[in-house]
Amino acid sequence: MTKIVEVGPAGYMPTSAPAMGVELAPEGSALLYGNTVTPEEAMRDAAIALLTRKNPTIFPGPQVLWDWKEDVAEKSAAILDLASEIPNCKIIPMPDYRPKYPKIDVKAEINPNHPNLTILDNRIEACIFVGVHCHYANLTLRMIRAGTNCYTVALCAYMGHEEAMASIRDLHASDIAKFKEIVIEERNKLGIKWETTLPPENPSLPKEDNSTLSPADYGEYRSLIMTKKGEHITDAE
Amino acid sequence: MSLAYITPSERFKKYLPKDYVELIDFGPFGKTQEEAGPGNMGQFKELMEEHPMCSGCWMAYYIRLIFAALPCPEETVTIGTAGCGRLAISQAAVPFIYGNYGDQNAMASGLTRAFRLRFPDKTKDVLTIAGDGGTMDIGFSMTMHSWIRGERFTTIMLDNEVYGNTGGQSSGMSPKGAVLKMAPMGKDFEKMPATDLAKAAGCVYIVRMSPTNIKQAAKVIRRAIFVAREVGPTFIHAYTSCNIEYSIPTEDVFADAIELGKGRFKFDEYMTDEAKIVIERVEGEEKVARKARKAAKVAAAEAVN
Amino acid sequence: MSAVQRPVLNKKQVEMNYLLHEAPREKHFITGAQAMSEAVKRANVDMAIAYPITPQSEVMHLVGDVFAQGHIKEYYRAEEELGTMSAIAGASRAGVRLFTATSGPGLIRGLEAIASWPGHRVPAVLGILTRVINAPLSIQPDNIEMAYMMHCGAVMLHAENQQDTFDFTLAAFAIAEKVDVYIPVAVATEGFFVTHAKGYVDMMSEDLVYKEFDPVASPVPAMDNETPPARIQRDAPVQKSNFMSYLIHSVWQQEIWDSNSRAMKYIYEYLGGPIEVQNPEADVFVVASGCAAAQAREAWRYAQEEGLSVGLIKVKAIRPFPKDEIREAAKNAKALIVPEHNIIGWLSKEIQATIPNGGIVVEGPRVYGGMTLPVELIMVELYDALGIEHNIKL
């Protein structure tokens, strides 16, 4: 198989997968490195990546994080079942799509506008996106391919994603369960010992306390914010 | 009330960042003003906590107040345009639409009508919050026509009397004589009569104010929203100084707001008879509910004793 | 009368493929403006926003009648085109199906908003009833405004006649709303020549309508306080001055054009492909879109009668531009004659940039400012290309 869409980093400004000729897989099929394959083939390759690459992580998006639709409970349960079968898997959510101001807590969340920060800081080399609206998923998958060496898996309720290394379309909870079975099979084949364990809870950092900030915290920029001794600026210009 | 979209799916709650969990557990969604209103800011998780506005920015304070005063934040959408305000508005946990230049009232016209056709049995509040340039200069035609058409949403103009975000250019709302960029010899025409224009265009509830009194400012925001739900367009013209471009020392920002509140931003409230009926009814209902809650609280306390 | 009290019509909701390809049709003799409004009637549109400009006015006034009859839930006349196009963008956030139409100067006035629709993922349908851009003022047909529209990211279809106008408009809603497309689709046709002239249009019963808009099946969340996440801005200002901000904007732009190219498969599904080719073995082709394609078709008929080796390539989709299809169709051609209704020749430029041997493109004939395109103008170019002497006087 020729890999059209490969694990990055693809570079400064990569050509998009559709512009490289990748088309979305037809119903009943999946995409693997930009090629149309059976869902099982794509899942098997993705499972091996999640089992062998460093710091596998699942990024659940708003559509499965929030309790807005009937199928959410079933899907979120299936995702956690899957996560607990991947050794040392983490869950880092993407709760919304707005760029994070003033600074993202990279241990606690990922944002579609600057996904690299979370991927690189946590040295994530294999990940799954699930429940992210397609527009944002495409943007974020392309940015990850551009700037990181992360293997991306897209589990999509609609038509899938050209940018992911492995893309499953028309996702239901049963597909996630099937993926979990494939992960277990591949894990046993690889001889990896693992007891079903849920990922650790969200490790949100405590809020920064700006009241204790001192000029020293600004390091080399210190001179920019420091007024001269005794100086009180009351007038602009 | 549809809180479903801000309720975490049960199994994922412990995987959400703390910030979000706090917003759900201690935020204002589905709560009353006594629990989470301007009167007790600092005691609940606010919708807007962080913003990139300048130190001492009076506009940032007022925007924070708008979000604390919302009668139903979980059913509210805000629309803004280019300018300082949207830097803060976009940080709130309420959907925010950032369109093109000055088009906020045209967008809101489409949005409110679409909401009414999709959700005939629900109340969805739409607020446009834009600066003086966005509302009265570049967006003038769209602002005026939304009022003339009687579109039912609330327009809030954050008037800092200058184009702050682009670096201090004179706007239609700058006072006559102000020396600003693009008015190097001083602005040579009067400040636009925004509230008069609103009245002529058919706004049914209009307030001009310098929002120094939190309680009063919050009451005005709520009145404007209640009236827009049922009667027609409402307009709040609020002074939100630009301490940078007008060189107001941070410690004098409040005094400046008080001062202008006595001058060209002297409190002025206008309402039509129809608007008045709505306000009296809603505020009456609120009063009754408040009393009932108080009584229930007392009864509960007595039961414990 | 409020939206809630609108007359409720009992219609059967069907899939677009059934509507376009299977539903029985009846022949009607109607104008292009009527054809467009009849398509809107069957498209189950939630809301239409109107603003008059000749020659479009008749379309949106007829759509107003369609609203009054209860086929559309909400309709109003906006203040001007920027207000119209902005209101479409606002309404789209609420998750409803939308339609509006404009012409020449109106399109240019609304272009700031229209150019941001694709990036905002607004799946509205826009009718463009072509007209010159003013200076000096004129209301006449000329499709110069389409050149301005071509770089916005929207899907663009160009209708040859009243029947195309009907079919393309109807199909446009289905194309725009696909989860992997979800950008606006513009349906253009020539003002007056098509909008105000009658032609035969085969239409299905108005008791059939396209299935209703699904606000959930979308690549972006509807901002309706029903769809998570709560903290959203679909159009986040990514204007910090750092590399990640530049990168998000660039991949966002890529996504729009990728969405545009994904529309191609649906153009095949609903419209049988982006081009129509007649006499594929010919030496010389007339390549044209819109009204010029009608004249090109006539020239091709003349040529057939004279036994000339002439073919026709009608370009239905301007965006996504059918590069592969045109390259394939023109691979053995010796000359491509491109008649157009504008002075700059946007179609011939596109074709020159598409084929490896751009030198075979004959740039013209072109008419503009409202002038008609006599078939003889095309015949002159055909005879010249084939090296045939003629004495056509124009």
* Closest CB from C80, C87, C120 relative to B141: C80
Domains and CATH numbers, chain C: 7-210 (3.40.50.970), 275-386 (3.40.50.920)
Mean pLDDT of B261-275: 98
Q: B1 pLDDT band (50/70/90 cuts)?
A: very low
Mean pLDDT of B2-25: 90
Given CB atoms, is C214 within the 8 Å cutoff of chain B? no
CB contact under 8 A, C228 and A19: no
Residue of B nearest to C234 (CA): B97
CB proximity under 8 Å: C 37-66 to A? none
Domain-located, residue A202: no
What is the CA B91 to chain-centroid distance, rounded?
14
Q: Given a contact as 3+ CB pairs under 8 Å, which chains touch A?
A: B, C
Domain-located, residue A196: no
Contacts A143 to C, Cβ<8 Å: 244, 247-248, 251
Q: Given a contact as 3+ CB pairs under 8 Å, which chains touch C?
A: A, B
Beta bridge partners of B107: none
- pLDDT surpasses 80 at B6: yes
* Closest CB from B8, B15, B52 relative to A67: B8
Contacts A63 to C, Cβ<8 Å: 228
Given CB atoms, is B115 within the 8 Å cutoff of chain C? yes
CB contact under 8 A, C236 and B117: no
- pLDDT surpasses 80 at C64: yes
Residue of B nearest to C233 (CA): B96
Residues B240-251 have pLDDT tens digits of: 999 999 999 999
CB contact under 8 A, C255 and A96: no
Domains of chain A: total: 1
Mean pLDDT of C140-165: 97
Given CB atoms, is A204 within the 8 Å cutoff of chain B? yes
Give residue C21's identity as a one-letter amino acid code. H
At residue C236, the pLDDT reads 65
Domain-located, residue A6: no
- Minimal C-alpha gap between C158 and chain B (Å): 27
Domain-located, residue A65: yes
Domain-located, residue A237: no
Q: What is the pLDDT of chain C when averaged over all its residues?
A: 95
Q: What is the C-alpha R_g of chain C?
A: 21
SS (H, E, C) B17-81: CHHHHHHHHHCCCCCCHHHHCHHHCCCCCCCCCCCCCCCCCHHHHHHHHHHHHCCCHHHEEEEEC
User: Percent of chain B, pLDDT > 70?
Assistant: 99
DSSP readout, A71-129? Answer: THHHHHHHHHHHHTTSTT-EE------SPPSS---TTT---TTSHHHHHHHTT--EEEE
Give the angle subtended at the CA of B75 by the CAs of B72 and B79, to the nearest 5°: 105
What ipTM was predicted for this assembly?
Answer: 0.96
* Closest CB from B5, B14, B17 relative to A68: B5
At residue C140, the pLDDT reads 95
CB proximity under 8 Å: C 289-348 to B? none
SS3 A167: strand
Q: What is the pLDDT of chain B when averaged over all its residues?
A: 95
- pLDDT surpasses 80 at A235: no
Q: pTM of the full predicted structure?
A: 0.95
Domain-located, residue A47: yes
At residue B279, the pLDDT reads 98
Domain-located, residue A36: yes
- pLDDT surpasses 60 at A236: no
Domain-located, residue A197: no
At residue C394, the pLDDT reads 79
CB proximity under 8 Å: C 70-99 to B? 73-74, 76, 78-80, 82-84, 86-96
By C-alpha distance, which of B108, B92, B223, B209 is closest to B159? B209
Domains and CATH numbers, chain B: 53-304 (3.40.50.970)
At residue A227, the pLDDT reads 60
Residues A127-186 have pLDDT tens digits of: 999 999 999 999 999 999 999 999 999 999 999 999 999 999 999 999 999 999 999 999
Given CB atoms, is A100 within the 8 Å cutoff of chain C? no
Contacts B106 to C, Cβ<8 Å: 78-79, 82-84, 86-87, 90
- pLDDT surpasses 50 at A80: yes
Q: Which helix (H) or strand (E) holds B131?
A: strand B125-131
Cβ neighbors of B179 (< 8 A, separation 6 or more) are: B185, B186, B187
Contacts C80 to B, Cβ<8 Å: 141
Selected residue of A139, A148, A161, A162 to mutate for chain C interface (largest C Cβ count, 10 A): A139
The answer to whether the CB of C274 falls within 8 A of the CB of C316 is yes
Range of the domain at A172: 18-189
At residue B44, φ and ψ (nearest 5 deg) are -140, 165
At residue C257, the pLDDT reads 98
Given CB atoms, is B15 within the 8 Å cutoff of chain A? yes
Mean pLDDT of A102-123: 94
Residues C240-287 have pLDDT tens digits of: 677 788 899 999 999 999 999 999 999 999 999 999 999 999 999 999
At residue A219, the pLDDT reads 76
Q: What is the CATH number of the domain that holds A159?
A: 3.40.50.1220
Instruction: Return the C-alpha torsion angle B24, B28, B30, B31, nearest 10.
Output: 130
* Closest CB from A77, A102, A235 relative to B11: A77
What is the CA C26 to chain-centroid distance, rounded?
24
DSSP for residue B174 = S
Quickly list H helices, chain B: 18-26, 33-36, 58-69, 85-89, 104-118, 132, 140-148, 194-201, 214-230, 253-262, 273-304
* Closest CB from B9, B20, B247 relative to A67: B9
Instruction: Return the C-alpha torsion angle A69, A26, A176, B21, nearest 10.
Output: -40
Residues C305-314 have pLDDT tens digits of: 999 999 999 9
Q: C238 pLDDT band (50/70/90 cuts)?
A: low
Residues C314-333 have pLDDT tens digits of: 999 999 999 999 999 999 99
